[in-house]
Amino acid sequence: MAITREEVLHVARLARLALSSDEADRMREQLGDILAYIRQLDRLDTSGVVPTSHAVETGTPYRDDSVHPFGEKEEILKNAPDREDDFFRVPRIIED
């Protein structure tokens, strides 16, 4: 199953990437190669393999909670390219 140009453009739109026609064609080919490589895993017998989330068992690192001064609010906010009162203003990314 090959990936279509429309699927590449859809994923690019979701990632907010602007692709030229040549880039979209190159991405379609490269993503198709990646998916073909991943499909090779379907040929492996993994029935006896225990599902894991990590190759090496790790514990959860804990640290003590401690209060630290946040810093000078005005000093931090002066670096904001756009601000409103005590807040950073950022471009809207959620569409209605």
Residue 25 belongs to a domain with what CATH number? 1.10.20.60
Taking CA atoms, 15 is separated from 10, 18, 56, 75, 80, in Å, by 9, 9, 32, 33, 25
Question: Over the stretch 4-63, which tens digit does the pLDDT of each residue have?
Answer: 999 999 999 999 999 999 999 999 999 999 999 989 888 889 888 888 877 777 777 888
Q: How many domains does the chain have?
A: 1
Question: Over the stretch 16-33, which tens digit does the pLDDT of each residue have?
Answer: 999 999 999 999 999 999
- For residue 71, being part of any structural domain is answered with no
- For residue 22, being part of any structural domain is answered with yes
pLDDT > 90? residue 71: no
Q: What is the span of the domain harbouring residue 24? A: 5-43
CA–chain centroid gap for 86, Å, is 29
What is the reported pTM?
0.47
How far apart CA 32 and CA 4 sit, in angstroms, is 9
Question: Over the stretch 72-93, which tens digit does the pLDDT of each residue have?
Answer: 888 888 888 899 998 999 888 8
Q: Is 88 helix (H, G, I), strand (E, B) or coil?
A: strand
- For residue 96, being part of any structural domain is answered with no
- For residue 18, being part of any structural domain is answered with yes
